[in-house]
Amino acid sequence: MTKALVLNGPNLGRLGRRQPEIYGSTTHAELAELCVGWGRELGLDVEVRQTNHEGEMLDWLNAAADDATPVVLNAAAWTHYSYAIYDACAQLVAPLVEVHISNPHQRPEEFRHTSVVTPYAIEVIAGHGIDGYRLALERLARR
């Protein structure tokens, strides 16, 4: 089985409690369980991680680059401004799929309309809710 990482950035640990009208009622633990199951069905050994600490995310991305591990990344707020995340994504050698639960381009906040991850992603999946993670894993499995 091919290993794949699903990496979630700040505040995504609060899924199910944080603005359910935008992010839905699925908790991060439930999301992780779904991703592992979807991955298994696709022949992927999925590990799901979440952090509110940018340095930890950078360490995970650097290790993924070193190990040529495919990544599904929801960098959350870091998507819009973190050049450290941009540089870490630039190092990835296996496919990267960017995922967002909501569609940032349809959100009213102008800052959400820019992504530093997109230049390195083979695909961006946005606005499909939690199901976007399934779509992202399917994209990695087809690669």
For the annotated catalytic residues, the residue numbers are: 23, 100
- Residue 94 in 3-state DSSP? coil
The response to whether 82 counts as a known ligand-binding position is: no
The response to whether 112 counts as a known ligand-binding position is: yes
The response to whether 122 counts as a known ligand-binding position is: no
CA distances from 11 to 52, 106, 108, 123 (A): 6, 20, 19, 23
- Measured distance CA(37)–CA(118) in Å, rounded: 26
Q: How many CA atoms are closer than 13 Å to the CA of 96, on its beta-carbon side?
A: 23
Only one residue has tokens 């699903």, namely 6
The response to whether 105 counts as a known ligand-binding position is: no
For residue 78, what are the contacts with CB-CB under 8 A and spacing of at least 6? 9, 10, 54, 57, 85, 116
List residues forming the annotated binding site for substrate: 74, 80, 87, 101-102, 112
List residues forming the annotated binding site: 74, 80, 87, 101-102, 112
